[in-house]
Amino acid sequence: MKKEPNPQQKKTEQPVKVSIQGYEGSFHQAAALHFFGKQVEVIPCATFREVVKIAANPKESNGGVMAIENSIAGSILPNYNLLQKSNLTIVGEVYLHIRQHLLVNPGVTLEDIREVHSHHMAIQQCLEYLDKFNWKLVETEDTALSAKLVHQHKSKHIAAIASRLAAELFGLDIIGPNIHTMKNNYTRFLVLEPAKESDVADDANKASVNFHTDHSKGSLARVLTKIADEGINLSKLQSFPIPGSDWQYSFHADMEFDNVQQFEKVIEKIRPVTEGLKVYGVYKKGETF
């Protein structure tokens, strides 16, 4: 996977294959399309573990796209653990505005609908709208799969809750746009590729690292002070129990900076007061769309 400056805006010329969780038409695919452009080919996976496995295998893919946190639900902790155990590096990120739509086959009206199918989280996000109708709510494994099945079965009485991309892929009408209750719902996706020695883009302004301290009094505060003293914004700090330890923790930190040299300087400053310091990736901060 070739890195380009500001990859969120520069689209790849050659097709890129990336693993995603879910089916075609999912929000993961929408994030991949935004990052790589229309040439990207997605490899749907049933689990995030499978996403990481395929992303790490150059014979199967060029990398992967994986959700890591949501503005409402918070961090997806198991995915941080998958990242920590993998040989993948972060090369970019996408902040996707999650918009849920009510999809039907062409010609179907609200009066025709008897059932609404979707993933349980999508249904929960749209209950305020759904409560206005006497529809049977059916939970499924995936939003995009629900849309695909509505299309395949040519259902006249079943609607699906899914993305605009799913509507476009399966030829469905958006009979109820933006039916989600929380309008400021965003998911952050990481773009991953197998770790290798490569140049960092000149416009990189964000990095993700993991470290732990000796757990003496004030040890974490000393690390955070050194980060702040260098003028770096700590946009995220997430703690994780260290397996096999007695209530000891490692920390995932997302740092935002003006230039790579500023980041490299702070790494050298915190290295002596941290243990197990690992840089997951240095990349361009993602855009929200």
Q: Quick check: 52 and 82 in contact, CB under 8 A?
A: yes
Residues 163, 29 share a domain? no
pLDDT tens profile 103-160: 999 999 999 999 999 999 999 999 999 999 999 999 999 999 999 999 999 999 999 9
Q: Name residue, tokens 């790589």.
A: 36
Q: Report residue 13's pLDDT band, with 50, 70 and 90 as the boundaries.
A: low
Of 147, 162, 194, the one marking the end of a domain is: 194
Chain center to CA of 273: 31
pLDDT over 70, % of the chain: 94
Residue 3 lies in a domain: no
Residue 11 confidence (pLDDT) above 70: no
Q: Report residue 196's pLDDT band, with 50, 70 and 90 as the boundaries.
A: confident
pLDDT tens profile 40-86: 999 999 999 999 999 999 999 999 999 999 999 899 999 999 999 99
Q: Name residue, tokens 């040439």.
A: 39
CA–CA separation, 42 vs 32, rounded Å?
8
Q: Name residue, tokens 């980060």.
A: 227
Residue 7 confidence (pLDDT) above 80: no
Residues 216, 167 share a domain? no
Residues 190, 78 share a domain? yes
Classified as helix, coil or strand, 70 is strand
CA–CA separation, 250 vs 2, rounded Å?
31
- Which pLDDT value is given to residue 4? 47
CA–CA separation, 178 vs 164, rounded Å?
10
CA–CA separation, 40 vs 121, rounded Å?
27
Q: Report residue 202's pLDDT band, with 50, 70 and 90 as the boundaries.
A: confident
Looking at residue 261, its amino acid is Q
Residue 59, domain extent:
17-98+185-194
- Which pLDDT value is given to residue 200? 80
Residues 181-206, mean pLDDT to the nearest whole number: 89
CATH number reported for the structural domain that contains residue 128 in this entry: 3.40.190.10
Residue 177 confidence (pLDDT) above 60: yes
- 189 forms beta bridges with 67, 94
Domains in the chain, number: 3
Q: Report residue 252's pLDDT band, with 50, 70 and 90 as the boundaries.
A: very high
pLDDT tens profile 218-227: 999 999 999 9
Residue 277 lies in a domain: yes
Residue 8 lies in a domain: no
Residues 146, 93 share a domain? no
CATH number reported for the structural domain that contains residue 227 in this entry: 3.30.70.260
CA–CA separation, 196 vs 256, rounded Å?
22
CA–CA separation, 66 vs 192, rounded Å?
8
**Angle 133-178-68 (CA atoms, 0-180°, nearest 5)?**
115
Q: Quick check: 53 and 194 in contact, CB under 8 A?
A: no
Residue 2 lies in a domain: no
The model's pTM: 0.91
> 281: closest CA among 92, 65, 59, 100?
92
> 104: closest CA among 128, 80, 135, 74?
135
**What's the sign of the alpha-carbon dihedral 4, 7, 9, 15?**
positive
- Which pLDDT value is given to residue 9? 45
> 36: closest CA among 69, 70, 12?
12
Gap between the terminal Cα atoms of the chain: 23
Beta strands at 115-119 and 158-162: parallel, antiparallel or unpaired: parallel
Angstrom CA distances, 190 to 113, 256, 257, stand at 37, 15, 18
Residues 84, 110 share a domain? no
Q: Quick check: 231 and 175 in contact, CB under 8 A?
A: no
How deeply is 50 buried, as exposed, middle or buried, from its count of CB atoms within 10 A (0-12, 13-18, 19+)? middle
Residues 190, 75 share a domain? yes
Residues 193-197, mean pLDDT to the nearest whole number: 84
Residue 236 lies in a domain: yes
Average per-residue pLDDT for the chain: 93
